[in-house]
Structure 1
């Protein structure tokens, strides 16, 4: 099991427990004596903390500060845990090796697609750019070929041309790339 999966399952279980407890407390509190006999809940005279015990704790000077501090620490920890979860999706700005320098992913993608479409026997190209393992640049390229295309030659041209330009433009020392070549006609346009 991955760490992300464990974190998401634990967050879901915690959220479900809080939601269930809140719904139970709300229904019991709003309906009061009108709840059915099988409904488990505190009676009208029962409290979560005994009144005598609460008065005893509230009499100490440290009680208010300790209870508020514990709740604040729990809230900060829960918020930190939530924000520490990885975000899915592509970043809009790709950070370059130089400090404070970045390039819009959409602009870089558009330029790489234009480079690919300039290659001979390429009908269209689609590029997705993101970060891979260890912060390495990850590029996924889908190229739709014409019927007369030679894939072996095209892969060499793709590696020496658009992918090399992309590596140079981003300053990436290493780049993970996945290339998918598709041949054949595109789907027919349907007319109604």
Structure 2
């Protein structure tokens, strides 16, 4: 799963939890249950404006247990650390934000005027690489500096893939096309291959009626 897919999944789950929690608090705070004549379950949180979100019994249920306070401190701390780690991982790409395209103003004096986003370069290479034979999944990352980018690609292959032919096709295809499109004299590329495990054929047992 790509980082974008993970980000979207995390944001969707967190947003859904916040939406549900906010809706429950809003319904109780506006006294919607009484106005509509709805009787919520006995353990339903915040059923009226005068009711606290957490009752005294709920707040003190496990305070006498020895494990309660370590857990009550450790869980929010882990959530905070995980949230900060996720935030910093979004801010730190680990590579240049873009690639500078050489536009020589005079012989021997390169001049850099155009700039292409690294994400656009990664998407172009991924789109072409995933169309290669025997390729199941592609992940591309541009590293280095803006004037001397490097490409790191991870390919997951089908079990019967021809590795030698694929390496040649990748070098002469996506990488060479990207280098030519960017106008670079060289584009160092690192390729990592991983072969997917063959799926076992599951035979369905016929049902006897």
Please give the range of the TM-score, normalised by the shorter of the 2 chains.
0.3 to 0.5
- TM-score by length of structure 2 reads 0.44
- The structure with the larger Rg is 1
TM-score, scaled relative to structure 1: 0.47
